[in-house]
Amino acid sequence: MQTVIVDKKYDKKNLSKVLLDTFSGLTMDTFYKALRKKDIRINNIRTNKNEVVHEGDEIKIFVIDELLYHSFIPQIIYEDDNILVVNKPSGIEVVGNANSLATCLKQIRNSFIEPCHRLDRNTTGLVLFAKNEPALEILLHKFKNHEIEKHYLATVYGIPKIKKQTLTSYLFKDNKKSFVYISDEPRKGYVKIITSYSILEKHIKENYSILDITLHTGKTHQIRAHLAHIGHPILGDGKYGNNQINKQFGYKTQRLCSYSFTFHFSTNSGILNYLDGKQITLA
């Protein structure tokens, strides 16, 4: 049995949404089987419906851990005395629940380890962790100061007319809906975002392309929303993409991968000075 207290961001969301986001190994088949058997309780009341829950509700699910959690060993891409870079699979949160990447690493290492940035649950690829507090403080500052260059690979619907471009728009985050909106003009409550892309591959017959993406600002869902805004949603993205197109290509999660870090330190970096100029990439 596992217990979940509904967070504010899941207020008025379906029960399935909360549980599927919390337990990476849980499938819809297992969820509905648990409902049929009344193995889920909300505020200690058994339920057999995929009902709406509210902030502060207590959910208990009586399902064995093997069906709730993915059992996986994180793939280490790079490690030294101060940092750890891991290849995150799809369906795993970086932080936020008992089956997150950060929690898994802490259990395996039994030592200090903290993420320096986040990836969306269904975005794959490189995540940078600090192995001590001084390194964490430095890296958080470096990310904030744009001294760490990140590159992503995105498979998008269609082929952009311009081969290489830097996009500037404005983003509004709706916390209640867990959704962001993009505007080409400044608006109240919107923040400036800058995203660059270049086309790596064109697949004209199938009508899709593969882009290299660089973020100059790092806002929630920025890449996904920005590409959708220009008419080239990421394939498999159920939130900002087109479900009919996703079904056509057979993708159930977004085809977005963080594949490269390059450290460009413009100021003294203390114990991490040796990283200046270093690039870490997925093979």
143-181 confidence digits (pLDDT tens): 999 999 999 999 999 999 999 999 999 999 999 888 999
- Provide the residue ranges of all domains of the chain, joining segments of one domain with +: 2-68, 75-147+264-281, 151-258
Task: Say if 2-68 and 151-258 have the same CATH topology.
Answer: no
Spatial CA neighbour of 74 closest among 113, 22, 34: 113
Please give the pLDDT value at position 171.
Answer: 98
Quote the strand ranges of the chain, DSSP E: 2-5, 13-14, 40-42, 45-47, 52-53, 58-61, 75-79, 83-88, 114-115, 124-130, 148-157, 164-174, 179-183, 191-203, 208-215, 256-263, 279-281
Domain 75-147+264-281: CATH superfamily, name plus number: Pseudouridine synthase (3.30.2350.10)
- What CATH number belongs to 2-68? 3.10.290.10
Q: Residues 21, 39, 120, 237: which is the catalytic one? A: 120
Sequence-separated (6 or more) residues with CB below 8 Å from residue 258: 88, 119, 123, 124, 125, 126, 127, 150, 151, 152
pLDDT at 176: 87
Vertex 23: Cα angle to 254 and 64 (nearest 5): 140
CATH domain 151-258 topology: Pseudouridine synthase (3.30.2350)
Burial of 24 by CB count in 10 Å (0-12 exposed, 13-18 middle, 19+ buried)? Answer: buried
User: Does the active-site annotation cover 81?
Assistant: no
Which residue stretches of the chain have pLDDT < 70?
70-71, 98
pLDDT number for residue 231: 97
Q: Which residues of 41-62 are buried (b: 16+ CB within 10 A; e: fewer)?
A: bbeeeebeebeebeeebebebe
